[in-house]
Amino acid sequence: MKLKDKIILWSRLKSPWIIHFNTGACNGCDIEIVDALTPKYDIERFGILLKGTPRHADVMIVSGPLTRQQAKRFKRIYDQMPEPKFVLAVGTCACSGGVFDGCYNVIGGIDKVIPVSAYIPGCPVRPEAIIDAVVKLITELEKSAN
Amino acid sequence: MSKMQIPLGPQHPALKEPENFMLVLDGEMILDATVNLGYNHRGVEKAAENRNYIQDIYLIERICGICSHSHVSCYINAVEEIAKVEVPQRAKAIRTIVAELERIHSHLLWLGVAAFELGYDTLFMYTWRDREQVLDCLELLTGNRVHYGINTIGGVRRDITKEQADEILKKIKYLHERTSYYVGVVTEEPTFLARTQNVGKLPKDIALELNAVGPTARASGIEIDVRKDEPYFIYDQLDFKVITYHSEDVFGRAVVRVLEVIESIKIIEQILKNLPEGPISVKVGWKIGPGEAVFRYEAPRGEDIHYVKANGTEYPERVKVRAPTLANFQSLPYCLKNGYLADAVITIAAIDPCMSCTDRAVVYDIKKGKKEIFDWEELRKYSIEFYRKKGVKFS
Amino acid sequence: MSELTKEEEILKEIKDKFSDAVENSIIQRKSRIWIDVSENAKLDIMRYLKEKGYYHLSTITGFDEGEKLGAIYHITNHKIIINLRVRTQKENPILKSVLPVYPSATSYERELEDLFGIKIDGLPEGRNYPLPEGFPKGVHPLRKDVKLEELNKMLNEKCIKEE
């Protein structure tokens, strides 16, 4: 691997930047994601930063079942993220549609539209599970780089 | 002065919710605002007709993650009315405890979010850290931090032990101290006052005309609270005040919410010291009705109303849900008008919106004929900068 | 039952003043009155109720009874809820807007248009709510003849066509 790539990978592993996207959720998972930022769980000590724009993000955290009106917008935001990018489906709704599966305005889980790197089930997801997922993702990245 | 139209999609910082407002600006002032909703329509009411009453509990819980107990309780009360079920007192008391814990968590959440929108990150971290105590209580009682699943038709699913009651009393004593501190911050901190007083004014007569509900209405001096007007659960046996304030602005809404947390703490203490004995549920069959019922409930954001029509089968004929935020959206354009663009963010956050939407704001400058993309984060930063130039700084 | 005096009073006043318009009425329990009224008299009754202190329109529930569509207006003075039910035919259903009396009704009436297909006469132009743009016109999800599986199938096919 070239030195430049090694540095980029190191910075991604040491400090993944996250963008959060809600594709029609009830906010249960969203507040647990924000909880992960607050002092009790404090995800920022891992270098994880919540960014507002997809162009700066390595990891997209998605919550909520995919509603029809969000599908196009969601794909657009995913396309705006630079490679390599990872998607975490947070919550049962994002994994499979959850309790809303079968509702007429819900397409299903987010993997109907974009590839997902990790599925975190839970309704809602505990902040510990979110941290665990991100750590697992980073470990996988390190393994695949070596 | 050029007139600019800004479609603004508000979002809570990590609760990215899509709402869409069209703001017409003249320089810095908002001349007009219209509300476009509907980005988070999932089709719950239709789905509810295809599931039985118990399955619907879990569906309706997930209409909103912040006030899930409110929606379920409202729905279940309507169903129990149709089924002519007499819910035991102990079950009602447990429901009340969870309801008030939910109110505390929701208001603390709001205070943190409002602080974040203003740029007051420290307060955001403090309130959400203290909110963890409430979530611990809820997890102790019900097994989950969000979406408690404690309600069932005819009562509640879990009982409360003496140890749990003692633990909760300890935690809310701590919360009482912390909330008194927040009352001080909200009412005395000059930077907070500078950003919230006289912002987003909603006069009493307009609030009445536009049927505002909850803390938004109470901050305009309207004394309405479903817990007092049409008592449900065991509220008629409890001693608590309806908090109103006269200032009709964002500051008033903050004061009302913070003081309501204190009232909720008092309510929980009263109940836990006098928990009625008895069963926690009665058996109700799968088939309900026929009949129809309407129920109103005081959710943290205001009046929540559900209508249920049963036809004698296991599936409801019709379930209608009107969440409190929808009622408050009608008054939002009025609050935004004649205010500064820099105040738009906190004005919208002050009604405590609970819907989902995306964030997008397009600024169209008519004179220059140019389009710019703004998002909520940028608008939030813009408003913090606007006030920093005026000398209002937060840490 | 003396504890229902307030409910009986207001119901009697409505029946006396609008005897032609009231088709059915019942005091279901304390604080709950249900009245079936004719669509033509709806606004007059509402104006009268608003003067009497029933200023708060909580929401409007649309319904599909099979042969008829309709709406229930849940109006309250915070102590008593009066539920006014009006009906309209299924072919070309139309109801008058209540905005002149209750200016907060906009979203509720748009819901009736989107989800039931009831035309609201007097509702100003605006974006539909709550259905998203792109939802097929003429399909009203909450009508009883729209089955959920078929609706899902149709919407999925439409999505695939658009991609």
Q: Which residues are registered as beta bridge partners of B26? A: B3, B29
**CATH classification code of C2-162:** 3.30.460.80
Angle between helices B250-273 and B89-118 (to 10 degrees): 150
Cβ within 8 Å, pair C152-A67: no
Is A77 within 8 Å of A114 (Cβ atoms)? Answer: no
Q: Answer yes or no: is B395 within a domain.
A: no
**pLDDT tens by residue, B96-113:** 999 999 999 999 999 988
Q: How far is Cα B58 from Cα B72, in angstroms, rounded to an integer?
A: 8
Same domain flag for B103 and B148: yes
Residue B356 has pLDDT above 80, yes or no: no
For the residues B325-352, what does the mean pLDDT come to?
A: 82
Average pLDDT over residues B193-204: 89
- pLDDT at site B5: 59
pLDDT of residue B14: 33
Distance in angstroms (rounded) separating the CA atoms of residues B30 and B19? 18
Contact yes or no for B16 and A37 at CB 8 A? no
B14 and B76 belong to one structural domain = no
* Chain C residue whose CA is closest to B319: C61
B51 and B29, same structural domain? Answer: no
pLDDT digit string, tens, across residues B261-320: 999 999 999 999 999 999 999 999 889 879 999 999 999 989 999 999 999 999 999 999
Residue among A20, A26, A104 minimizing CB distance to B62: A26
Where are the domains positioned within chain A?
Answer: 15-145
> Which range of residues forms the domain containing residue B7?
3-39+329-389
Contact B65 A29 (CB under 8 A): yes
What are the backbone angles phi and psi of residue B6, rounded to the nearest 5°?
-120, 115
Same domain? B197 vs B62:
yes
Number of domains in chain B: 2
pLDDT for the residue numbered B357: 30
Please give the backbone phi and psi of residue B156, each rounded to the nearest 5 degrees, phi first.
-120, 165
Interface of A with C (CB under 8 A): 67-69, 71, 102, 104-105, 107
**Angle (nearest 5°) at CA C12 between C10 and C16:** 120
pLDDT tens digits, residue range B361-379? 333 333 444 444 555 666 7
The pLDDT value recorded for residue B8 is 53
Q: pLDDT digit string (tens) for B309-325?
A: 999 999 999 999 988 88
Residues B379 and B286 both lie in one domain? no
How high is the mean pLDDT in each 10-residue block of chain C (163 residues)?
81 90 90 92 93 93 92 93 93 93 91 91 83 82 88 80 59
SS3 A18: strand
Instruction: Give ipTM to 2 decimals.
Output: 0.93
Cα first-last separation, chain B: 34
Q: Is there a single domain that holds both residue B292 and residue B357?
A: no
Q: Which one, of B345, B346, B375, lies nearest residue B358 by Cα?
A: B375
A15: pLDDT strictly greater than 90? no
The answer to whether C57 contacts B303, with C-beta atoms less than 8 Å apart, is no
Which of A50-59, A112-121, B21-30 holds the top average pLDDT?
A: A112-121
Q: What is the CATH number of the domain that holds B358?
A: 3.30.390
Decide if B394 is inside a domain.
no
Give the nearest chain B residue to A65 (CA atoms).
B42
A26 touches chain B (CB under 8 A): yes
Mean of all residue pLDDT scores within chain B? 84
Q: Which amino acid is at B245?
A: Y
Q: Which of A105, A106, A107 to mutate to test the interface with C (most CBs of C within 10 A)?
A: A105
Contact yes or no for C60/C109 (Cβ under 8 A): yes
The shortest C-alpha distance from A62 to chain C (Å) reads 21
- A4-8, B127-131, B344-348, C80-84: which range is least confident on average? A4-8
E-strand spans in chain B? 3-8, 20-26, 29-36, 151-152, 155-156, 291-299, 302-310, 318-322, 361-365, 370-374
Task: Specify the CATH architecture of the domain A15-145.
Answer: 3-Layer(aba) Sandwich (3.40)
Q: Do B11 and B65 share a domain, yes or no? A: no
Asked whether residue B32 falls in the same domain as residue B181, the answer is: no
Contact B21, B11 (CB under 8 A): no
Q: Which residue has the tokens 């608590």?
A: B240
Structure tokens of A50? 């919540």
- B145 and B152 in contact (C-beta within 8 Å)? no
Query: Do residues B266 and B292 both lie within one domain?
Result: yes
Do B333 and B214 belong to one domain?
no
Domain-wise residue ranges, chain C: 2-162
